[in-house]
Structure 1
Amino acid sequence: MSSDYDVLVLGGSGVDTIVYVPELPLPYADSYMIRPGIETRAGQTGDFVALGLSTLGLRTHHVDMIGDDPSGDLIRAFHRDRGIDFTEVPLPGGTKRAVNLVSPDGRRLSLYDDSRSQESDRLPEDLVRKLAAASRHAHVSITYPCAFALPLLREAGLTVSTDLHNWDGENPYHEAFAYGADIVFVSTTALTDTESTMRRILERGRAEVVVATAGAEGSYLLTADDGLVHIPAVSPRAPVVDSNGAGDAYASGFLFAHLAGEDPRRCALHGAVAGAYACTVPATGSDAIDRAALIDEVAVLTGSRSAAKDAE
């Protein structure tokens, strides 16, 4: 069955203020002189996944709740300027915001403004059903309204992916996403037992593959057939300047290969290459690796052409 979109991205829109700091953690001081400066730009997890997928040539549609405010205008321009289809739903509390502190070695600390969300926030069911019917796959951000969209996506027969980010493996909020998606990404940052958490996701939910990203240590891939596999990190082709968006880029690269029919290990390698590239781009740049560069680097690393290349 044909579809209008390869991937429907739900949620995860917001605006970040990027502050480059001399070190993390930042010692207390009355003031700091900041270079290269402070910049506010559109782009949180859903925005960056949509950007990564679209830059890789996948037909992508993003839907989320944003405010009628200057921050919302930045998000509208982000999608418009990059040719990414975007459907907005009014967010009464205003567009979501965050402050990201970025150190010289590219590490970041994110401060999220939790005052924008309300208990009543929802993506309209009719809208979700309409977009799902026109899509092959859905990537769901772990923002509150998206939890209510998960059953609608399953009813539509879509495969679903999600990113749990820095889940500690215990917070019940994440469980609807962890156990309701076919492909689950999670960071190892807050996990005390990565393998145990991954196995629990695989056993209790509908996931066919679980991926735990571990920064410079690479990533871990768990499937029922192959068990736990370590995927080494890929060395960036340029200096690391900012890790912001690396996990989103990894997910985009992985999904690109998955939708092209690659096996999970090859998907993880595509993700690793895309994530490494993201670390070489300042967060203020909102850039992503393109299809040709991703395919060529994977070919160099493996000595073989990918199914993604054949699918062109």
Structure 2
Amino acid sequence: MKTVFTCGGASWNSVITLDEFPESIPQTIHHCEFDETLGNTGAGKALALSHLGFKTTFHALIGDDTLGKQVKTELQHPNLNLITDRDPQGTERHLNIMNNKGERISIFMNPSSDKPNIDYSKFEALINETDYAVINISNYCRNLLPICKALLKDIWTDLHDYDLGNPYHQDFIEAADYIFLSSDNLKDYKSFMEQQIKNGKKLVVCTHAKYGASAINEKGEWLNVPIIDAYNMLNANGAGDSFFSGFLYAYSKGHDTLKCLQYATIVAGLCINSSAIYNPKSTPDIIESEYLKHFQTL
């Protein structure tokens, strides 16, 4: 069983789903789909990776409050070792407004602490023993980047909807060996990806929502995959984290980049077919069966 250490990003989210985003005028909306659920990038990756068979250690900041207890309850899986530090600001909360295209407006109603009082030395043994270090872009996680570097661990990171030149992401970009991001706010994503390969990255992967995903490897070779239309979208929350997890699952099996992208597309497709931030059906047996169904003739 391969091991993963990941950190940062666990929240309790209120999710409102509308057919279309409302116009920016005063109005009353009488009907919507509404849910309250576990959210955030670390939680999504931790659960998806655990279901895919990784022995996963996940560190998160969680408040000593009722919502924190709910978050911890949702983060239960035999393969998942949850480690927490108390966030004095309370459990992180988001309001996500979704439309029927899968687009999202995310409002951080209660963000996590940027500079929590944490003893970072406790992470050294966990990172040293893990097969894969996945460092999410929560602010406190940037302090784990030099630990990974000192231990000669490759860093996997997810920049999400990165906008070019945003200084917040720079530490993660410079430290990472494997970069994932979306093209939502990055029109010239190809130039950015090519530059990162020139800077010594081993792989850069960019998702394009309904237009699939692209990757460039350290040789400068480009690969593209479309989405799988067979998966109907119920909820797009967590799709990027599931894509990342599916890719890492295939990578851990020694598959080439194209096959990794295909597995990633399957896990993301199963995620959007679920109401949660991951799909509990995304187990190795199901994933392998789905791969044969969609790609065996290719």
Alignment TM-score, normalising by the size of structure 2: 0.92
Matched, 1:73 2:41: no
Runs (5+) with no aligned partner, structure 1: 306-312
Matched, 1:207 2:204: no
How far off is 1:234 after superposition? 1.9
Contact 1:72 1:95 in 2 (8 A): yes
Given the alignment, which residue of 230, 233, 237 partners 1:236? 230
2:98 aligns with 102
Change (3 A) 1:62 1:153: same
Given the alignment, which residue of 80, 87, 112 partners 1:84? 80
Sequence identity (%): 24
CA–CA distance in structure 2, aligned partners of residues 295 and 122 of structure 1: 43
- Cα displacement string for residues 258-310 of structure 1 (whole angstroms, at most 9, x for unaligned residues): 111111111111111111111111247864522112112222333289xxxxx
Given the alignment, which residue of 129, 136, 139 partners 2:134? 139
Matched, 1:186 2:181: yes
CA–CA distance in structure 2, aligned partners of residues 126 and 149 of structure 1: 9
- Cα displacement string for residues 218-242 of structure 1 (whole angstroms, at most 9, x for unaligned residues): 10101122522222222233x2121
How far off is 1:176 after superposition? 1.2
Given the alignment, which residue of 155, 159, 165 partners 2:154? 159
1:265 aligns with 258
Contact 1:11 1:142 in 2 (8 A): yes
How far off is 1:185 after superposition? 0.3
- Cα displacement string for residues 2-58 of structure 1 (whole angstroms, at most 9, x for unaligned residues): xx861111111111111122312455444222344x222222110010111111111
- Give 3-state SS (helix, strand or coil) of 2:261's partner: helix
- Give 3-state SS (helix, strand or coil) of 1:148's partner: helix
- Cα displacement string for residues 121-141 of structure 1 (whole angstroms, at most 9, x for unaligned residues): 254222210211231111111
Change (3 A) 1:122 1:192: farther
CA–CA distance in structure 2, aligned partners of residues 26 and 82 of structure 1: 45
Alignment TM-score, normalising by the size of structure 1: 0.88
Given the alignment, which residue of 3, 6, 25 partners 2:3? 6
Q: Which moved more, 1:209-218 or 1:103-112?
A: 103-112
Contact 1:15 1:75 in 2 (8 A): yes
Contact 1:136 1:159 in 2 (8 A): no
Contact 1:121 1:144 in 2 (8 A): no
How far off is 1:203 after superposition? 2.1
CA–CA distance in structure 1, aligned partners of residues 97 and 78 of structure 2: 26
CA–CA distance in structure 1, aligned partners of residues 25 and 278 of structure 2: 29
Change (3 A) 1:303 1:286: closer
CA RMSD of aligned residues (A): 2.2
CA–CA distance in structure 2, aligned partners of residues 59 and 19 of structure 1: 33
Change (3 A) 1:193 1:104: closer
1:298 aligns with 291
CA–CA distance in structure 2, aligned partners of residues 304 and 128 of structure 1: 44
Change (3 A) 1:246 1:288: farther
- Give 3-state SS (helix, strand or coil) of 1:76's partner: helix
How far off is 1:105 after superposition? 3.8
- Give 3-state SS (helix, strand or coil) of 2:131's partner: strand
CA–CA distance in structure 2, aligned partners of residues 156 and 136 of structure 1: 12
